[in-house]
Structure 1
Amino acid sequence: MSRLPFLFIVSGMAGFVLFHAASLLSLFGWLGDGVRGPAGWFHAHLFVLGWATMLAMGAVYQLISVILQSNIYSERLGYVQYAMFTIGLAGLLYGFIRGEIYWIAAFATTGFAGILLFAWNMAVTLFRASRWDAITISAAAAVVYLVLTGLTGMAMGVNFATGLWDDMHNRLFGTHIWLGTVGWFGLLITGFSYKLLPMFYLSHHYPTPLQKVVPVLWNAGTIAGAASFLLGGSSWSLLSALLLVAAAVVVYNAHIVQIQKHRFKRSPGSGIQWSVYGNYTLGAAVIAMLAYALWKPQVLYQTKSVTLAVWVYLAGWVSFTILCYLTKIVPFLWWTWKYGSQAGKPGTPVMSDLLSDKKVSAGLAAVAVSGLLPLAGLLSDSHPIVAAGGAAHSIFSIAYMLLIGRVFSR
């Protein structure tokens, strides 16, 4: 078994703890003050790249082999990519702290080179396998959006350093966020869930047509939203993109219901059950946001609205879903690595012995509930609530990650 996924996953877990430790020290002041500044850039990129993307890359390296039943194109290239991405990220974060534009530019380029290597490794792996379905198409599209996210980020860096494209800075900023959040994370999570959820529920003979509908709607929404931001479209063009994404989320949830109806396992485990709750919550939130935007289209471009939407989507769904899936991914990787050769022998623990399901349920409940508090603070424009709620959320999040990390000591 390759060590490559371990590197990314452990690094991502460390990035998660670092993000919440830094947020705890600042009492989430960066969130209340907005993300358009060095402190906001530092925290946003630590969360998106150091935690979510780092861990997502590790999961892709592990799961794509399971899905395709073949090895990745080049494991050695994966190690080179890890080194470049990690070095680039570390230098980028340091540059944000120091406010050094040229330092930021140099290491952003290094990190982007790591993303390109990842994209190349995945592209060759997928095209060699030539197995195209809802899972692999979603994964391929997600990687394309990751590259485009990096390109728009680099373009913003050139703008800061040279003053070029000043009139496009806000357009690039919106496109950058949209491609990274909706495109990269959205398609990656939904795509891999088509494989993971039936596996954990032991679902068989469930209908699959909706799996083909979701990527079409999600890609259409991603492209429409990116085009709206980049071309300076009207509020109604962005609303159209939101409508497509909302439709994709609703259809995705409908497919999850289908998977549950055809299950042969009563409980897939607390982590997976909580991920389903997160999916349903995202569906309700997207519909509510869309309804409000239809009533008041002018709120779409307001800083407060963007901050609220990003918190709900990134912290409330993307990050939370990854935390839920970690309850299966980490024990599986560690058990296979340490005990796989001893399977069936007396005294060998089973995978469920590595992580308490009750503690997982309690930890995720605490993370979910505490995550609502900063949201309440943002809605009410109350910095004290953002600070207190954010502190509680960070404390519970760190405690939960330490619980997951204890698997490596079993």
Structure 2
Amino acid sequence: MSVPDVDTSHGPPLRLPLAHVVVGFGFLLAGVALGALVVADRLVGFGRLAPVHLLLVGWVCVTIMGAMEQFVPVWSGVPLHSRRLADLALVLVTAGVIGLASAALAGRPRLLVFGLPAVAGVWAFVYDLLRTLPTVHRGDVTERHFAYALCGLAVAVGLGGALAVDFSVPVLAWAGLSHAAVRSAHATLAVLGGVLLTVVGALYQLGPMFAGGGGDADAHSPWLRRVEEATLPLGVVGLAAGRLLASRPVAVAGAALVVIGTLAFGAVLLHVIARGRAEATPTAIRYAVVAIALPLWAALAAPELLARPLETGIVGPSAAGWTLGVALAAVLVGTLYHVVPFLVWDRRYADRVGYEPVPMLDDLYDARVARADLVGLVVGGGALVAGTVVGLSPIVRSGAAVAGVALALAAVNLASVVWRHAPASWEREQGRPRAGD
């Protein structure tokens, strides 16, 4: 794999993104283990919230936090507003996720208030990144999507905090809102606003980089980008608002815009992948999976979302939900397969090239394990979707087991990069001047 010509001088210290990655991997492994109990019907009722929050907040959101704290300064050429605030945000979110999961496993809804530190942590992260990003009207398509996602995430966790408090004090009833409606809007903004918009924004740049197309995705299909940006962010807001206010017309309009925007972006990414000239790396292949899975999710979700946006699942029927889950997992793991080794290689080995033998980027992790977890995610995810469509529980359980093992393999493979190479990288960083506080 070639190393992109990226200036990392504006990036934070290596420990910051890697701390998020390691914490995220811990939550991933815990979430996969508890998720297996859910699929096997061994974890029921309120306890099912534990793996959901471990995976979505603990793994996905914490990993996105670390990635954005690294990507935004490097891409935008500005220092992170505050590293201390980034450290505090990670501590608070970690404590909050542990509190949420513990309360759910204990079956004590009133104890969900122990998850409130996660709200404060996400808000601290959002403030830090919004202060770091260029203003939206000056930013490029990636920076604008990041700003949209940060705003969606801030509102989503605020609603989540209100839900937690509502189990003890009926604050939602006082505001004239139902618990179910707020929960639906919370999940919609978290998944489609905080996560999907972040992924779309990042792939506008990362897709061409790893597909070998050069430039950015906007240059390949500018009119499709304009369609996506005019529909997807607004659609997420409309769908969430319609669900919050129990307004079916607003929710239908929002759902339609989400579907149109997702299909438009899927077409952009498919075009980028089809024109790509890069080698088949773990990252590039996973992005190809995303290019197929996102439009498939839109196609599977559209009928139900448009017909019953208030009653159907948060991101559509179960088959659609699994498809979106595979897409998000693929892009997250694929990006980590580049980001983690690249950051470690850049800090430890880059200035030794030409003076002594140094490993290649791909040598830092086990390529066989990377291939195995890719196959496992695709096969397991496909079985999850197919089994759900045809209504065969054994296939669903088998698919969940295979996909779970695949994610665990990826976590261990990438964690080994940190374990074997990062400590020396941290030592080499000591005393090196960096931008920021």
Matched, 1:73 2:87: no
CA offset digits 1:80-114 (Å, max 9, x no partner): 11111111211221122223344321x22211110
Matched residues in 2 for 1:284 and 1:309: separation?
A: 8
Percentage identity across paired residues of the two chains? 23
Do 1:27 and 1:388's aligned partners in 2 also have CA atoms closer than 8 Å? no
Cross-structure match for 1:398: 408
Answer with 204-213 or 332-341: which moved more. 204-213
Any idea what SS the aligned residue of 2:167 has? helix
Instruction: Give the alignment partner of residue 227 of structure 2, picking from 197, 213, 219.
Output: 213
Cross-structure match for 2:363: 353
Instruction: Give the alignment partner of residue 226 of structure 1, picking from 225, 236, 240.
Output: 240
Matched residues in 2 for 1:393 and 1:244: separation?
A: 30
Instruction: Give the alignment partner of residue 114 of structure 1, picking from 121, 125, 136.
Output: 121
Give, as a single letter, the amino acid of the residue that structure 1 aligns with 2:378. Answer: A
Cross-structure match for 2:301: 289
Q: Quickly say closer, same or farther: Cα 1:268–1:375, change in 2 above 3 A.
A: closer
Q: Quickly say closer, same or farther: Cα 1:374–1:156, change in 2 above 3 A.
A: same
Any idea what SS the aligned residue of 2:220 has? coil
1:203 CA displacement: 2.6
Q: Quickly say closer, same or farther: Cα 1:349–1:269, change in 2 above 3 A.
A: same
Do 2:287 and 2:334's aligned partners in 1 also have CA atoms closer than 8 Å? yes
Matched, 1:50 2:58: yes
Cross-structure match for 1:133: 140
Do 2:181 and 2:243's aligned partners in 1 also have CA atoms closer than 8 Å? yes
Matches of residues 326-345 of structure 1 in structure 2 within 5 Å?
326-345=336-355
1:24 CA displacement: 3.0
Instruction: After the TM superposition, list the runs of 4 or more consecutive aligned residues in structure 1 that deviate by more than 6 angstroms.
Output: none
- What is the number of equivalent residue pairs in this alignment? 400
Instruction: Give the alignment partner of residue 36 of structure 2, picking from 24, 49, 56.
Output: 24
Do 1:271 and 1:364's aligned partners in 2 also have CA atoms closer than 8 Å? no
Any idea what SS the aligned residue of 1:301 has? coil
Give, as a single letter, the amino acid of the residue that structure 2 aligns with 1:190. Answer: V
1:237 CA displacement: 4.1
Matched, 1:259 2:267: no
Structure 2 unmatched ranges of 5 or more? 1-12, 422-437
Matched residues in 1 for 2:144 and 2:318: separation?
A: 30
Cross-structure match for 1:312: 323
1:60 CA displacement: 0.4
CA offset digits 1:126-172 (Å, max 9, x no partner): 14798411111100110100011111112222322123435511111
Matches of residues 186-205 of structure 1 in structure 2 within 5 Å?
186-204=196-214
Cross-structure match for 1:325: 335
1:10 CA displacement: 1.2
1:309 CA displacement: 3.5
Given the two structures, how large is their TM-score scaled by the length of structure 2? 0.83
Do 2:290 and 2:328's aligned partners in 1 also have CA atoms closer than 8 Å? no
Do 1:175 and 1:229's aligned partners in 2 also have CA atoms closer than 8 Å? yes
Matched residues in 2 for 1:391 and 1:262: separation?
A: 34
Give the RMSD, CA atoms, in angstroms.
2.6
Matched residues in 1 for 2:22 and 2:181: separation?
A: 35
Any idea what SS the aligned residue of 2:79 has? coil
Q: Quickly say closer, same or farther: Cα 1:26–1:213, change in 2 above 3 A.
A: closer
Cross-structure match for 1:11: 23
Matched residues in 1 for 2:184 and 2:39: separation?
A: 26
CA offset digits 1:264-286 (Å, max 9, x no partner): x3325132222222222220231
Give, as a single letter, the amino acid of the residue that structure 2 aligns with 1:230. Answer: L
Q: Quickly say closer, same or farther: Cα 1:378–1:254, change in 2 above 3 A.
A: closer
Any idea what SS the aligned residue of 1:284 has? helix
Give, as a single letter, the amino acid of the residue that structure 2 aligns with 1:249. Answer: T
CA offset digits 1:241-296 (Å, max 9, x no partner): 22211211221122224434664x332513222222222222023123314655xx
Cross-structure match for 2:168: 161
